[in-house]
Amino acid sequence: MWVIGGGEIYRAALPYATTLAVTEVDVTVDGDTFAPVLDAGWQVVEDGGPQVSASGPGYRIRRYAR
């Protein structure tokens, strides 16, 4: 199942997840909603390394498991 939501939806679904696909985008934005911080039970199992999009911002896709 894919969960695409806001911070509260991520927080509600996180206890049921066993794997996560996380895209980290290298930008600074104003906002008050953030994804939850992952605890030590999550480990990176795949890291696509730094990438650059055609439109500019850098990003990285990581897969986590617990």
Quick count: other Cβ atoms within 10 Å of Cβ 20?
Answer: 19
28 in Cβ contact with 57 (< 8 Å): no
pLDDT tens-digit map of 13-25: 999 999 999 999 9
- For residue 19, the cross-strand partners are 65
From CA 4, how far away is CA 54, in angstroms rounded?
23
* Arithmetic mean of pLDDT, 43-52: 97
Q: Which residue has the tokens 């104003």?
A: 30
| pTM, 2 dp | 0.84
Q: Where are the beta strands (DSSP E) in 13-53?
A: 19-25, 43-47, 51-52
